[in-house]
Amino acid sequence: MTETAGRLVVGMGCRRGTPSVDLRAHLLAVLAEHGLSAESVAAFVSVEAKAAEPGLLALAAEWGCRYAPTPPRSCAPSRSRAQA
């Protein structure tokens, strides 16, 4: 996760077909582990191969956040790396 002007840009990956409810539960646990709130999330990023991944799209829509697929080299982990 990268903090940008007091807001978080969260890099997320998942196995194909992972439901948004599982992604949300994992993300909330990671945020809590780092003392961060869900309200601080501004956007989600993932590798371009996940651009149409239903769980990631649904999570971004549920949270009212931008979802930006990006080249794999731009998605290097920073603080926490866990797989849903």
Name the pTM for this structure. Answer: 0.75
From CA 16, how far away is CA 29, in angstroms rounded?
Answer: 21
Domain ranges in the chain? 2-74
The one-digit pLDDT tens for each residue of the chain (84 residues) are 544 445 888 988 899 999 999 999 999 999 999 888 888 899 999 988 888 999 999 999 999 999 988 877 666 665 554 444
From CA 11, how far away is CA 63, in angstroms rounded?
Answer: 14
Structure tokens belonging to residue 20: 């948004």
Pick among 3.90.1530.30, 3.40.50.2300, 3.30.420.180, 3.40.190.10: CATH of 2-74:
3.30.420.180
Report the pLDDT value the prediction gives residue 79, as an integer from 0 to 100. Answer: 57
